[in-house]
Amino acid sequence: MALNRDEAGKVTGLKFDFTDLEPVKVKDVKCPLCGGEVIQTLFGYGCANYSKDNPESCKFAIGTIAGVKLKEAQVKELLLRGKTEVIKGFIAKTGMMFDAPLKLTPEGQVTFDFPEKPRPVDTTLKCPKCGHFMKKSQWYYECECGFKVAHTVAKVELEEAVMQELFETGKTKKK
């Protein structure tokens, strides 16, 4: 970038010259694929060894992720630790906002690091629809027939016995 001046030497504006632009390096980190420098690009961050003229060149790049352009500190965290703290404000395809940590795969892809869902556990609760035993998952009592019901209502966890009563009598004694 340079200043545009008129003949009298007065500054009239700014002149962009992209061929002159020095790539901005992200300090202290290396490309996870080839060990090259990581630089800021028009789209986010990428490997300095990438060349659009060379199809064999390193293609490591981090662009906008679900609507979020990562801050340099977050890119550093990702490259140094392999994952980030929770980053806020991602936008899902459905339009829903969500927060999640990111992680770096061995292939140099950036993905969401969602915690693994706990596996559903067996219960002695019988499904009111088909009579099979239901399983308790993170959020639901659920049955292989497809019937499911949230086990936590208004932040109160409903125990199996309470659920059984509800299924058998259609209501519970306790409020």
59 is an interface residue for Zn ion by CB under 5 A: no
Give the single-character DSSP code of 114. Answer: P
Q: Which of 113, 137, 147, 148 touches Zn ion by CB under 5 A?
A: 147
66 is an interface residue for Zn ion by CB under 5 A: no
Q: Which is nearer to Zn ion, 69 or 129 (CB)?
A: 129
Instruction: Give the interface segment with Zn ion, choosing from 77-85, 99-107, 144-152, 167-175 (CB under 5 A).
Output: 144-152
Q: Would you say 38 and 75 are in contact if contact means Cβ atoms under 8 Å apart?
A: yes
Question: What is the rounded distance in angstroms from the CA atom of residue 74 to the CA atom of residue 5?
Answer: 39
87 is an interface residue for Zn ion by CB under 5 A: no
129 is an interface residue for Zn ion by CB under 5 A: yes
Q: Which is nearer to Zn ion, 30 or 83 (CB)?
A: 30
The site that binds Zn ion (CB under 5 A) totals a number of residues, namely 15
25 is an interface residue for Zn ion by CB under 5 A: no
> For 34, how many CA atoms within 13 A lie in the half-sphere containing its CB?
14
Q: Would you say 125 and 87 are in contact if contact means Cβ atoms under 8 Å apart?
A: no
E strand or H helix at 30: strand 25-30
Q: How far is the CB of 35 from Zn ion (least distance, A)?
A: 7
47 is an interface residue for Zn ion by CB under 5 A: yes
Q: How far is the CB of 39 from Zn ion (least distance, A)?
A: 10
Query: Comparing C-alpha atoms, which of 148, 138, 93 is closest to residue 116?
Result: 138
Question: What is the rounded distance in angstroms from the CA atom of residue 54 to the CA atom of residue 58?
Answer: 9
Kindly give, in sequence order, each residue whose CB lies less than 8 Å from that of residue 70, ignoring residues fewer than 6 positions away: 44, 45, 62, 78, 87, 102
Q: Which residues contact Zn ion by CB under 5 A?
A: 31, 33-34, 36, 47, 49, 58, 60, 127, 129-130, 132, 143, 145, 147
